[in-house]
Structure 1
Amino acid sequence: MTLTATTRKSRWWDGDSTQRYWMELVNVDTWGSELIAPDTPRYDLMHDVRVGDVVLHWVGKNNRMGFKSGMYGASIVAGGLQPRAGDWFGKPANTIPLTKYAPLPRPYLLTDLRADHQEDILGVKGALERDYAETAGYTMYFPFQKHPTTGLKPNQGYLFKLPTEVVTAVPDLLPDSDWGGFDRPLMAPPVAGQNGVKQSYAGYCADPVLKKAIEMQAVRQAIAHYEAAGYSVKDVGAFESYDLEVVRGGEVRHVEVKGSQGYVRKVILTRNEVTHANEFDRTDLVVVADIDWERHLDGSINTGKGAMSVYPDWRPSPENLKPLSYEYFLD
């Protein structure tokens, strides 16, 4: 391995093509569709991730789902870094698309890792420190450390470089002991709803490519539904505040379509969408939930059918509307 260092951070993996593994530490209910981190120097490791690299997903102990700390699956990097394409708690965030998510048959929990491979992992860490003794004080991005009382524990942070030597020593960290290739058939990425956790609303997605794919799948299903009912259908979403105009004889309906990759309890509406639905008598709301999808290594996304619900002659009732933002005019 060659060594480069930037702002007290060592890239000990530079020049070694076998070092293609990363570990993402998450505390949210979905993972495997993308990496996302603020566009700040603290997260500049995002720029080192390459297409075809493998990302292992570790769920931290302080997660809202109540999952035990451990490794839950792995994905392949499907595309390059997308600058400021996402949102991180209201701040611009860089994103990296992932594909081919595969869950472990059962999570490899931290307690088991301590019992089975603590010395193996700490041995790899020690070897790195010996090989690069001249970088003392530099961040090595190693994902684990040894707590003086509890033993092995993940470091605090978001993205870490996982040495190939760790994967070799602990093959059960991956969904399959020989997994990690490009053409191995794996399961689609997880969607909201994995592990029993369901998305609570539709309409927001940090990944613009995925968002568009989900929207188009919902529109296609809505078009098929109305055509099967004998309507002629025109897609007007590009220039109207609703998505479809459907006509059958003298009956004209306007259709608002919403799509989601997970369970839907509420949807996000624009001011124009609410106004139009209240002004045009025959407005339908179509919601397509639980849309399956898979991202390929070229970045393209395939979608499958979701569960469709149709609300005819829909009126957004004031008691069901909750403002998410306001315009404030200065005096």
Structure 2
Amino acid sequence: MVGGMQAIGQQWWSGDPTQRYWMELVNVDSWGSELVAPDEARHALMYDVAIGDVVFHWVGKNNPRRRPSGMYGASVVAGTLQYGAGEWLGRPANTIELTGYTAFDPPLLLTALRSHQGQIFDLVAKLQERERQTLHFPFQKHPTAGLKPNQRYLSKLPAELLDIVPELRPDSDWGGFEDPVIAPPIDPTIPEFRRRYSGICMDPELRRAIEMAAVEQASAHYVAQGYEVSDVGLTHSYDLLVTRNDEIRHVEVKGSQSAIFKIQLTRNEVVHADVFENTDLVLVSEIQWERLADGSIKTGAGIMDVIPRWTPSVENLKPLTYEYFLD
């Protein structure tokens, strides 16, 4: 038992390392960085997702940008389920970190997938006869329209479907892993608890986009106050150098696509803020973002808090790693 709900238990795919594929159905503009669903029985499949699994992202017809219904990309699972770490329609929700998002170019649309529907329905019949269990299959047979996606958030996509629809398996196999896909390497220096709060993002492209959006919003704030702003994050222990007449301020910027309860600080960031009196901390939370059809990230505004003359308090600092010198 994890949190408030128990995993479904023994499934038809249990113990088979090749059955490592899932399909997420979304009707929003953001996908590919995490799975998120409330801790309810109808979302119990979240507990069966394992590190190294592959998640396909199906964008439903009711998405706000009116994209055609279809498969727009795939990601690799990078973390374990985090109970209550996210939000679903204003309610606490479980999350699972994803990484390595690969956009399908072009997307595999429902109209193209229907060209395989005879083989797909045959596969379903064979699996039902063999397994004698609920398949949790991503698609259903509509009496008039033919193949349609099931209206559930997360489904189990059988490995056999990739043989029927080769477009689902790109040549790179999401990072160059051999077939069957093995678990991607996970940085062992990242403690599990660091994935339980906003600010840690396993998708490098999304992380860069969020960081840039936060710096841009902070820069605009200081420009509006009459400061000259220089982005020095690549060469200094802070992000922005802002000046106005004889006044000099150093600005540390932290951004997140969610609410910010904790932040990551390097040793140099802590030391610098401690010794330079005019250091501001700018927090930009709940940055809006969407995944475009080509896999790139478009960001919007977030909620900004400015803490002037900030000094990290010792009681609020918690060491995550130590440097140890051998005798």
- Report the TM-score, using the length of structure 2 for normalisation: 0.61
Q: Which amino acid aligns with 1:209?
A: I
Deviations 1:2-48, CA, capped at 9 Å, x for gaps: xxxx9998711011111011011111111110110001121110010
Q: Tell whether the 8 Å contact from 1:84 to 1:93 is kept in structure 2 after alignment.
A: yes
Pick one of 213, 217, 240 that aligns with 1:225: 240
The Cα shift of 1:65 comes to 1.1
Write the deviation string for residues 54-78 of structure 1: whole angstroms up to 9, x where unpaired.
1111111111110001111111111
Letter in 2 for 1:64: P
| Per-residue CA distance 1:86-140 (angstroms, 9 max, x = gap) | 01111111101111111111011101111x210111111111111134x4xxx32
Q: Among the aligned pairs, what percent are the same residue?
A: 45
Aligned residue pairs total: 238
Query: Which letter does structure 2 place at the counterpart of 1:132?
Result: E
Alpha-carbon contact 2:252-2:280 (below 8 Å) kept: no
Deviation at 1:169, TM superposition (A): 1.3
**Distance (Å, rounded) in 1 between the aligned partners of 2:174 and 2:300:** 37
Aligned residue identity for 1:120: Q
| Cα RMSD for the two superposed structures | 4.1
Provide closer, same or farther for how the CA distance between residues 257 and 155 of structure 1 changes in structure 2, counting only shifts above 3 A: closer
TM-aligned CA distance change 1:254 to 1:34, over 3 Å: closer
For 2:150, give the aligned amino acid. N
Matched, 1:58 2:58: yes
Select the residue among 256, 277, 280 that pairs with 2:282.
Answer: 256
Counterpart in the other structure of 1:197: none
Q: Which residue of 1 aligns with 2:27?
A: 27
- Are 1:232 and 1:247, in contact at CA under 8 Å, matched by a contact in 2? no
Separation in structure 2 between the aligned mates of residue 103 and residue 90 of structure 1, nearest angstrom: 29
Deviations 1:265-291 (A, max 9, x none): 543246xx5xx78xx9xxxxxxxxxxx
Shift of 1:210: 2.9
CA contact 2:73–2:103 (8 Å) conserved in 1: yes
- Deviation (angstroms), 1:142: 0.5
- SS of 2:75's partner is strand
SS in 1 for 2:302: coil
Aligned to 2:121: 122
The separation in 2 between residues aligned to 1:65 and 1:42, in whole angstroms, is: 27
Aligned partner of 2:136 among 103, 120, 141? 141
Q: Equivalent residue for 1:13?
A: 13
* 2:251 and 2:280 in contact (8 A); partners too: no
Corresponding residue of 2:162: 167
Structure 1: runs of 5+ lacking an equivalent: 1-5, 185-204, 281-331
Q: Which amino acid aligns with 1:131?
A: R
Report if aligned partners of 1:232, 1:246 keep a CA contact under 8 Å in 2. no
1:254 to 1:76, Cα distance in 2 relative to 1, 3 A: closer
Query: Match of 2:321?
Result: none
Structure 2: where are the runs of 5+ without partners? 1-5, 179-195, 216-231, 255-261, 264-269, 290-297, 310-327
Q: Is the alpha carbon distance of 1:231 and 1:224 closer, same or farther for their aligned partners in structure 2, counting shifts above 3 Å?
A: farther
